[in-house]
A and B are shown apart, each in its own frame.
Chain A
Amino acid sequence: MDSCKITREKLIEYLEGTLSPKQDEQVREHISTCTTCRRHLEELSKLSNVLTSRLEQKADSVELPPMLWGKILKSVQENKKQSKVAVWWKVAAGVAAALAIMFTGTFAPVFGKEGNLLNVMSGSIVNGPVEELVESFSDDLLGQLKKSHVFVQFQNDTGVTDEQRWELIEKGYTPGDIVLTLVITKEGDWTFDEVVESRDEGYGWGRIANWAGISILSVAGTVASLLGSMKEEVDSKTEFEVDSQVEGFDDSGNLVLSDFNSPIPFDENNIELVDEDGTTPINPSDLPEFGANLTFRIVDGKPHPQMIKRQRQPHDAPPPNHIVLKVKIESVDADGLTVVDDNGFTRKVIIIREQSGVLVEPKVGDTVVMAIFAPAPDRQILKSMRPPLHQRPPHFSPQDPPPPFPPGDDNQASEGGFDTPKTDSQPDDAQKPEIKGAPKAEPLPENRGDSKHRDNDNVIEGVDEDNNTNTSGDGSASDNERFEDKIVTFESFDRGRIATDSGEYLLGDGCNVLIKLVEEEIVIRPEILNRVKSGTKLSISGVGDVIGLIKVDIQLDRGRYRFLNYNALENQIQVLDNDRNQISFACDSSSTFIPNLRDFRKGFRVEIFSRDGFIFILRLEQQPMDSGEPINGEIEKITNDGFMVNDRKFDVIPGTTDFILVDPRRQGQGQDKQPISFDDLEPGMPVTVVVYHKDNSGILALRVVVLTQKPGEGAGGSPNNDMKKKIVDYRWDTANNGALILTLSSGANIKIDSDTPVLKVIQDKVTGPVALKDLRSINLNGLFVQFKVGQRGKIVELRIHFPE
């Protein structure tokens, strides 16, 4: 075998084809004559194939952790800015939640699709002052007006024009988004356009803030202080002036404003309608098409329109970036639409696929609201289109999210409450201020068009309103109705979609599953639904067909164990139960480990919530403490489940204790250590015990290092695993039949009975037996001894080394 060694080492290279032609030939020749090497090559080749396929197989089963990219990106960001923003996610989430609630009454995912902010947000980090603010904004009309007033002031304060803000609204930005855009523009070293661009690309606010060089903490601070002071200002007034953009008129002739929830009664006789110059009177019909500013006063909660100033003259002013108007679709052709507005003015509108956000399928005869670019009078481009807000079915609460406007950005869901005018048919007292909307108003893509259409048709055809209301909560997947704690029966789960007895739902960004434990609730990733049995009742909350939160009431088995091992490839966790039996649990990425799995070490006491052998939650029962100093001594006693060293009892828990035999003289030659087991321990062995971990209830894991001598060395035929120990003290126990008690350098005391055979050793040679009592006349201090230990710890042989 040795004669072939060189060639055998080359076999691997031969197999991979990297040998030189000459060497290759040599190997080939050798194999043809040497059966051993040939067989070895076959084995090697077989093994290589097995390894490759097994590793590939295993690699295939390894799933990239879903959160990894987010983590990487975060660390890259942190690296970029060299700033410590460890807590900003939480704060950002808090601000997001606060803003979302404040402006839309909803937990909108304003922080974007990057990362899992909503997971954090689910902790409802909303502070008291903000909630107060929300409260004061929730009262119907005045609330809306105040809110808008605060918003406008905020906008002015940050130096952003109406045009810019309007553009954001058109893009579907929520008011919370807008506030963040403004604050980041103001505080960061980025321009407004850069902020908007990043947002449009789908980046989350936290990241954008970070890029712009500001901590989200400062955003939170700015927002809080600005909004706080503005709210005070608004609250202290009973009368104030508000500027708003006029969007048009509703069916009852009320003014519909772009950023108010409630329409304003319009009395032509009591309002000054002027052109851009502020002096030329104009007709009401001139208003919506070109945009106008309404100035009105709020007196005791009621709006009093003062002056409407048209913003642009139709002919000599440059065309606006876009206009928003309500039109009826006259015809649909390949290029676009022909529409006619309320004034009978007909437009040809071009649809450019990349630029036009068309929310509804254009249908002849439908009335829609559209935003139109007008680069030239004969070339008007559709920018976005949606059903008229005030024509939506009456079961829409004004605070419910309207359909996304425009679509295209998954992340943007236009939120109600800000640009949703109240319908005429809906009395004020029908509003439910406490309704908070929902996480996201994103309908399933496939029925997006249909559902909007249906809404539209309903109104146009005059479907009975009550019927509509009654059917609104039935979970119909195309309905935008908000639902809370609706009980459904779970059927199946597949990547963000769940099927239930009442239809299919989409999981909203950051949707969590809440599992009720004995005394608490635990949030788990939705993937846990893979482990939920069909037929389980779920309590779901959300909007339309999008679920924001799922509550599951399932019975989990709860047990306390000692952690042994996590086998990543098998996705298994091994633990010991109280009877010290080894048990395996399955787990996957949806299992929740508290804290992180890598903090678990063998021996740790853990609590497991499981079902059918699958771990839902694994948590440390108690944070382990630092271990103490290593304990050096000799094994004094061995019991069934442990041993004693230096009067201290150590419990040996299978699987959590390592036993290692060390021969110090063979150090550096390899093979100086070898694992042994509990059964190999014998009393008298010199050991070093290291407590790996412990907690209040005791030791969690141990390492026991047993020091030994090389067998065969020392006195001939001496017992294995013993070594010479120096006597530091001794006494004769005359009461006990003349036994000898030795105190050794290790600190251990050993008792030599009078009938114990004692051998005299000089220069490592046994010179003969000696009677124990004959030693009484000798000073034993400083002499070395070796001993053999028998059953029950009794010393069965003592060797005593004498100097020459």
Chain B
Amino acid sequence: MEDIAASTIMKNVAKGDENAFRELYEQFGGYVFKSVVLSLRDYAVAEELAQTIWLKIWRFAKKYDPSRPFKPWLSRIISNELISHYRSKKPVNSSLEDMQEVGFEPVDNNQDSQETMLQKDLSMEIEKALDSLTDNQRQVIVLKYYQGLKIREIAETLSIGESAVKARLYGALEALSEMAKKAENG
């Protein structure tokens, strides 16, 4: 139902109707922002990304096929934006790039090996543990357990194979459950 209504609204958004756009925002603004916040865990950046996402919805509304459900289309835009954010997310300084040229690829904090992570804090709660996942893992977790997508849909959304989705998901779940166990025992 929600999707049918959204498809109708989108037809008007495609025509440049700002009221329709506003209506769409009222319906999905929270969903978009929350999806981004949960994937990024950073409000400020999330706000910026959400803004970009909505601008894209506005700009690409014409490309949306109203005969298809709206939410997957929206998820795709959200995911694309997140992915391009992850790609661009490098500490902002030139010396680091210099380092990479020399053959050092800086480690992302999120990519701590599981062992180190566990050593850090055994009593971590799950949501804190989510922080320790890689961007890719966390994104898949949010797509699956917050946005409620199936593996196939996640694969479509992220333009990757289903086996890659499964691997990421499985890796993330394994890490989370390990941590949960440790937390319980600790």
List residues 147-186 of chain B with CB under 8 A from any CB of chain A.
150-152, 166-167, 169-170, 173, 176-177, 180
Q: What are the residues of chain B within 8 A of A52 when measuring CB–CB?
A: 145-146
Contact with B along A44-81 (1 / 0, CB 8 A): 10011011101110110010110011011101100110
Contact A12 B109 (CB under 8 A): no
List residues 553-573 of chain A with CB under 8 A from any CB of chain B.
566-569, 571
Q: Indicate whether A12 sits within 8 Å of B116 (C-beta atoms), given known contacts A44-B173, A690-B93, A705-B99.
A: no
B1 is an interface residue with CB less than 8 A from chain A: no
B78 is an interface residue with CB less than 8 A from chain A: no
Q: Indicate whether A62 sits within 8 Å of B95 (C-beta atoms), given known contacts A47-B180, A72-B54.
A: no
List residues 103-143 of chain B with CB under 8 A from any CB of chain A.
103-107, 109, 112-113, 116, 126-127, 141-142
Contact A51 B145 (CB under 8 A): yes
Contact B145 A72 (CB under 8 A): no
Contact for A18 among B18, B55, B152, B180, CB less than 8 A: B152
Contact B95 A627 (CB under 8 A): yes
B positions within 8 Å CB-CB of A: 16, 18, 21-22, 25, 29-30, 33-34, 37-38, 40-48, 50-52, 54-55, 58-59, 91-96, 98-99, 102-107, 109, 112-113, 116, 126-127, 141-142, 145-146, 150-152, 166-167, 169-170, 173, 176-177, 180
A717 CB to nearest chain B CB (Å): 25
Sampled A-B contacts (21; CB under 8 Å): A18-B152, A43-B177, A47-B173, A51-B126, A56-B146, A58-B38, A65-B33, A65-B43, A68-B50, A68-B51, A71-B47, A76-B18, A76-B54, A566-B44, A568-B37, A568-B42, A569-B127, A628-B95, A664-B104, A688-B99, A705-B106
Q: What are the residues of chain B within 8 A of A253 when measuring CB–CB?
A: none
- State the CA gap A47–B112 with chains docked (Å): 22
Q: What are the residues of chain B within 8 A of A596 when measuring CB–CB?
A: 44
- State the CA gap A1–B106 with chains docked (Å): 34
Closest chain A residue to B146 by CB distance? A55
A613 is an interface residue with CB less than 8 A from chain B: no
Q: What are the residues of chain A within 8 A of B58 when measuring CB–CB?
A: 76, 79
A335 is an interface residue with CB less than 8 A from chain B: no
Q: What are the residues of chain A within 8 A of B170 when measuring CB–CB?
A: 8-9, 12
- State the CA gap A566–B45 with chains docked (Å): 11
- The number of A-B residue pairs with CB atoms under 8 Å apart is 160
Q: Indicate whether A68 sits within 8 Å of B33 (C-beta atoms), given known contacts A12-B169, A47-B176.
A: yes
Stretch touching chain B among A428-436, A497-505, A642-650, A670-678: A670-678
A626 is an interface residue with CB less than 8 A from chain B: yes
Contact for B51 among A75, A566, A568, CB less than 8 A: A75
- State the CA gap A597–B142 with chains docked (Å): 24
Q: Indicate whether A68 sits within 8 Å of B29 (C-beta atoms), given known contacts A55-B146, A690-B99.
A: yes
Contact for B55 among A48, A72, A671, A675, CB less than 8 A: A72
A667 is an interface residue with CB less than 8 A from chain B: yes
Q: What are the residues of chain B within 8 A of A658 when measuring CB–CB?
A: 107, 109
Contact A59 B109 (CB under 8 A): no
B132 CB to nearest chain A CB (Å): 12
Contact A69 B166 (CB under 8 A): no
Complex A-B, nearest 9 residue pairs according to Cβ-Cβ distance, in ascending order = A598-B44, A59-B34, A55-B146, A568-B43, A597-B44, A51-B145, A673-B107, A72-B54, A630-B95
